[in-house]
Amino acid sequence: MASLQQLTDDVKRWLNRRDIESDIPAWVRMVETEIAETCRTRAQVTFGVQNLDSAYITMPPSFAAMESIRDNTSGALLHLVDEWSGSWNDFYEPPYSFYPQTVPSPPANSYRLVGDCVEFLPHPTPPDPPDPSWVPQQVLMGWYMRPTPGYAPMLALELPSDTNPILERYYSIYLFGTILQGAVFEMDDDRVAQIDAKYQQAVTRANLHKQQSDYSGAPFRAELVGF
């Protein structure tokens, strides 16, 4: 099993330096910031079922980006809209046969990201006064995790024995990313160019693996929403 200790040893061998061990944790943190911004791999995806009894759902600190949101009953995808859009009000599509209530609000069919929250549209509005027969809409949420201290399985690498799914499945991302930071530290322009190409290739291949696995070799199909 890959670990931070193995990564540290490999980086020292690649750079042929034994005096950089105290610098490597900072380089790893910079790589993990890059991972959060650029990597969208299978290893990062997690899912959860959420009852929509509030307009806003706060995402965990390990949240990096949304993968998809589906209605857990019908399987219909919710549409992602921009932060300032108000056009979601036009997307109501009755009948709402999957849920017994049509009042006080129809099921959410769109969402947008606001800060560290997901806002569901139209806003779920639980009955007031409470109605025991009210059934909240359920959605299946999939999102990409970022390496985060204390959040297994996507742990940020801090202790020598620490590991996470990206380190185990896509070791070259961590390896070349950390070596790249070391080359920048050493102001070795030739090595920076060489290792940056390898790092970008590792990230691209990992992301492409996710895309290919989504379709499993099936022809690409696009769903066009009417204007």
| 30 and 8, same domain (yes or no) | yes
Contacts of 164 (CB under 8 A, 6+ apart): 147, 153, 154, 155, 156, 157
| 34 and 74, same domain (yes or no) | no
In single-letter form, the type of residue at position 226 comes to G
| 36 and 114, same domain (yes or no) | no
Question: Are the CB atoms for 8 and 160 separated by under 8 Å?
Answer: yes
In a domain, 164, yes or no: no
In a domain, 83, yes or no: yes
Q: What is the pLDDT of residue 216?
A: 56
Please count the CA atoms within 13 angstroms of the CA of 9 that sit on its side-chain side: 7
| 31 and 70, same domain (yes or no) | no
Q: Which helix (H) or strand (E) holds 79?
A: strand 79-80
Q: Does the structure show a pLDDT above 60 at 85?
A: no
Q: What is the pLDDT of residue 126?
A: 82
- What are 194-223's pLDDT values in tens digits? 999 999 999 999 999 877 666 555 444 444
Q: Does the structure show a pLDDT above 80 at 9?
A: yes
In a domain, 163, yes or no: no
Please count the CA atoms within 13 angstroms of the CA of 117 that sit on its side-chain side: 10
pLDDT-wise least confident of 62-66, 104-108, 207-211: 104-108
Domain end residue (candidates: 145, 180, 206): 145
Task: Summarize the confidence of residues 46-73 as an average pLDDT.
Answer: 92
| 36 and 65, same domain (yes or no) | no
| 53 and 139, same domain (yes or no) | yes
| 117 and 89, same domain (yes or no) | yes
| 65 and 135, same domain (yes or no) | yes
User: In whole angstroms, what is the distance from residue 198 CA to residue 175 CA?
Assistant: 10
Please give the tally of structural domains in the chain.
Answer: 2
| 65 and 139, same domain (yes or no) | yes
In a domain, 150, yes or no: no
Contacts of 227 (CB under 8 A, 6+ apart): none
| 133 and 85, same domain (yes or no) | yes
In a domain, 112, yes or no: yes
Query: Which has the closest alpha carbon to 120: 102, 138, 99?
Result: 138
Domain that holds residue 115: 45-145
| 17 and 54, same domain (yes or no) | no
Question: Are the CB atoms for 168 and 8 separated by under 8 Å?
Answer: no
What's the CA angle centered on 198, arms 194 and 201, to 5 degrees? 140
